[in-house]
Structure 1
Amino acid sequence: MNMFTITIPASSANIGPGFDSAGIALSRYLSLHVTKQETWEFVHHSSHLPFVSHYEDHFIYHAAKQIAEVYNHVLPPCKVEVDSEIPLARGLGSSASAVIAGIELANQLCSLSLTLEQKLNHATVLEGHPDNAAPIIFGGFLITANTGDGEIDYFEMPPLDLDVVLYIPDFKMSTETARNLLPASFSRKNATTASGISNMMIAAFVSGDYLLAGRMMEKDLFHEPYRAELIPNYDEIKVEAKKLGAYGTVISGAGSAMISFVPKGQGNQIAAQMKAMLPQYDIAPLKIDHHGLQVSHCEKPLRMTAE
């Protein structure tokens, strides 16, 4: 094996009240084209990727090295060409995508034959929680729970008959900053109400009642009320998207991007109309990616598109 390509989707976590538990894979991608050679080299082909002066400082290399060491392996040197459609610090799982890229890089280079569940467990250790990692690895819409016993439980939602519209401002928000906005604890009453809203949203998605799911998305009590004031045009995006037919609009992950769930086939139209209102935004109609992490052994880089 001298050449292969790793393709990893973006993700959006929380989906409103599914805080640190719910996540979907999206049709924007991070890709690594890997060729074995005598020395390590990382080459970036995207403005979304940060400058790194030395391969040992590269986030993906660091994750790969950690996984290789768990299994008592040494990474063989490679040239890694990296391309990305995932902007940093916008709530689109850029960190989780890079972590999983590193895990899979080690898996391929060291012939570890990791299962999907092992990859999820490793990603959760490196990331801290599985809400972005699970959809990136499996594709689709997943609910996860880290119950503290060393295993990650997950549930794959049935395929959703809808599109999504993504609103990306020219404004970064670190996960740490977003977390610091949240209260340290909730009263029993508020926690019970918030949990009920989350349960209702998941049940509505499973049953295909997207109108109910959309209403529940927008009633979150866990994080959106505390983060909304730092999200540009938060109220305007929600109101205008609803007028155009969106089921629900929420903060994507920790922000600063937002995401709408819209009727199937209407993503392009709604995105175009929202773009006219918010020309300063990168507004993209996307699909839910159902492939997840992909590896191709080929001569040229491949980019997957969601069906």
Structure 2
Amino acid sequence: MILKTPATSANLGAGFDCLGLALDFYNKTLIKRSNIFKVSIKGEGEDNPYLKKHNLFINIFNETYQKLTGKKDTFSFSFINNIPLSRGLGSSSSVIIGAITSAYYLAGLSINKDNILNNALVYENHPDNISPAALGGFVCSLVEDNVVKYIKTDILDDVKAVVCIPNKPISTNVSRSALPKHLSLADTSFNISRSSLTTAAFMSKNYEMLKYSSYDKLHENRRMKAIPELFKIREIARKNGALMSNLSGSGSTFFNLCYKDDASKLKNILENEFSSMKILELNFNNTGVIYE
């Protein structure tokens, strides 16, 4: 089978651990039945021999496939990894969703994305990245009694993403250590209102409202201190057409959304200002994981 799993951007400002969207940027995996177990990696992680011996995708795939079939069949895996590791673009969620989806497919079972999501909770208990990785589009989700509850909507091609990827990774666990133990009532109310309006803006396709809703007082500024250039990215992007400009996940990538007619200009401005970073102009993915 051939599998494509999208990168994702989560939190989107105030939507901590519940809002996320999928990008038209993928890891690709080719899986074949084989007499000999083989692994090849190109792209992200290709120089890391540890990933061949302790590969999260293969471990989850084997565990899920054996649970579904009761068999220990042999496969070869060829990975073409485009999503950078530990950069806030959902690389681990892409792996988790891809591994479970491919196990269902090669077990000969129908693929129900609700089942995929609920199985993914074993490996990732926050739904903000796994939901758009599976479903595509913009997704608001939560977990209730070990079940992912969500509402998803497509993102129109009126808008595009411009993402800034620093060379420096940020560990999600380390990043979470920067979060406050307590929030004031004022800051809590601020985030609830912005998260609600962000959700409404995507659902109603009123992207202009993102100019007012995509702010946060819980995590962004605290996490961005690890890479101070991110504050400048946000300032420049908002002055040059970005409807929203937010830390992607826990970082270090910075996510910008703008009208498609403004995307190339914004990309060029950010490239000129931040030459050490990779700047990508991307469409959005509305289908989630793709397989054949």
Fold equivalence (TM over 0.5):
yes
Structure 1 residues 275 and 181 mapped into 2: Cα distance closer, same or farther (>3 Å)?
same
Segments of 5+ residues of structure 1 without an aligned counterpart are 297-307
Structure 1 residues 249 and 174 mapped into 2: Cα distance closer, same or farther (>3 Å)?
same
**2:63 aligned partner, one-letter code:** Q
**Residue 258 (structure 1) aligned with residue 263 (structure 2):** no
Segments of 5+ residues of structure 2 without an aligned counterpart are none
Structure 1 residues 101 and 204 mapped into 2: Cα distance closer, same or farther (>3 Å)?
closer
| 1:4-29 CA distance string (max 9 Å, x none) | 10111111111111111111111111
Equivalent residue, structure 1, for 2:151: 155
Work out the CA distance in 1 between the residues paired with 2:12 and 2:116: 23
Work out the CA distance in 2 between the residues paired with 1:229 and 1:44: 33
**Residue 38 (structure 1) aligned with residue 74 (structure 2):** no
Equivalent residue, structure 1, for 2:77: 80
Deviation of residue 99 (structure 1)? 1.0
Equivalent residue, structure 1, for 2:224: 228
Could you tell me whether the CA contact under 8 Å between 1:56 and 1:62 is conserved in 2? no
Work out the CA distance in 2 between the residues paired with 1:33 and 1:179: 34
Could you tell me whether the CA contact under 8 Å between 1:30 and 1:83 is conserved in 2? yes
Equivalent residue, structure 1, for 2:173: 176
Work out the CA distance in 1 between the residues paired with 2:193 and 2:29: 41
Could you tell me whether the CA contact under 8 Å between 1:75 and 1:106 is conserved in 2? no
Could you tell me whether the CA contact under 8 Å between 1:48 and 1:84 is conserved in 2? yes
Could you tell me whether the CA contact under 8 Å between 2:160 and 2:282 is conserved in 1? yes
| 1:79-121 CA distance string (max 9 Å, x none) | 1110011000000000011111211231122223241100011
Work out the CA distance in 1 between the residues paired with 2:124 and 2:150: 16
**2:90 aligned partner, one-letter code:** G
Work out the CA distance in 2 between the residues paired with 1:31 and 1:259: 22
Structure 1 residues 49 and 25 mapped into 2: Cα distance closer, same or farther (>3 Å)?
farther
**2:257 aligned partner, one-letter code:** F
Equivalent residue, structure 1, for 2:189: 192
**2:117 aligned partner, one-letter code:** L
Work out the CA distance in 2 between the residues paired with 1:19 and 1:177: 16
Work out the CA distance in 2 between the residues paired with 1:74 and 1:222: 46
Equivalent residue, structure 2, for 1:146: 143
Could you tell me whether the CA contact under 8 Å between 2:14 and 2:216 is conserved in 1? yes
Aligned counterpart in structure 1 of residue 212 of structure 2, from 210, 215, 232 = 215
Work out the CA distance in 1 between the residues paired with 2:216 and 2:290: 33
Work out the CA distance in 2 between the residues paired with 1:54 and 1:287: 29
**2:147 aligned partner, one-letter code:** E
Could you tell me whether the CA contact under 8 Å between 1:247 and 1:261 is conserved in 2? yes
Secondary structure in 2 matching 1:60: helix
TM-score with structure 2 setting the length: 0.93
Could you tell me whether the CA contact under 8 Å between 2:240 and 2:266 is conserved in 1? yes
**1:62 aligned partner, one-letter code:** N
Deviation of residue 54 (structure 1)? 7.8
Work out the CA distance in 1 between the residues paired with 2:188 and 2:248: 21
**Range 277-286 or range 42-51, more displaced:** 42-51
Work out the CA distance in 1 between the residues paired with 2:212 and 2:233: 15
Equivalent residue, structure 2, for 1:299: none
TM-score with structure 1 setting the length: 0.89
**1:51 aligned partner, one-letter code:** N
Could you tell me whether the CA contact under 8 Å between 1:169 and 1:232 is conserved in 2? no
Deviation of residue 221 (structure 1)? 1.6
**Range 12-21 or range 59-68, more displaced:** 59-68
| 1:244-297 CA distance string (max 9 Å, x none) | 11112000111001011111232222101210111111001001111211112x
Work out the CA distance in 1 between the residues paired with 2:19 and 2:51: 35
Equivalent residue, structure 1, for 2:282: 286
Secondary structure in 2 matching 1:17: coil
Aligned counterpart in structure 2 of residue 13 of structure 1, from 6, 10, 13 = 10
**2:241 aligned partner, one-letter code:** G
**Range 183-192 or range 195-204, more displaced:** 183-192
